[in-house]
Amino acid sequence: MVKIFRSATTVFAFTFLAACSASSSGPAATPEPMPEETETERADPTTADGIFTLAQADRGEALFRSTCSECHDSADWTETGFRGRWEDQSVYQLWYYVNERMPYDNPWSLSRQETTDVLTYIFKLNELPAGEDELATDDDSIDDYWIAWNPRLP
């Protein structure tokens, strides 16, 4: 039995060495260079594309002052932490967060229009450009946009 084991070990060793030392028919292949990364522009519209009106943001400001300012300062919505948390998220995600949790003492009490108006006020606070059309209040429309705090460069 020991002889069989030694023979099997020897055969394996020779096979392994032969496989490792076999050379290819040419020099080793040179790896292809990695393509340079290029910055791609998102095709979907963002908050930097003027997705709300100033009138809508003004309604949101009035509601913010009467309801939200009991717990929030307007600076809460422009801080780096807030902006970083929501950058590249869908507008609907932030809309839903506000609608579901605010005001703190009475969540779900804002209408769809009120939630949308407050959201557009937050966009205005962050110096995002207003446009000619109001941000719609239905889920499908709100979900068409992405949050980008910095306007796109031409």
Distance of alpha carbon 116 from alpha carbon 137, whole angstroms: 6
Query: Is 84 part of any domain?
Result: yes
Query: Is 76 part of any domain?
Result: yes
Per the structure, how many domains does the chain have? 1
Site of tokens 């609608």:
99
How sure is the predictor about 40, in pLDDT bands with cuts at 50, 70 and 90? Answer: very low
pLDDT digits (tens, 9 = 90+) for 102-143: 999 999 999 999 999 999 999 999 999 999 999 999 999 999
Query: Is 70 part of any domain?
Result: yes
Query: Is 118 part of any domain?
Result: yes
Q: Which domain does 124 fall in, by range?
A: 55-142
Query: What pTM was computed for the model?
Result: 0.70
- CATH number at 80 reads 1.10.760.10
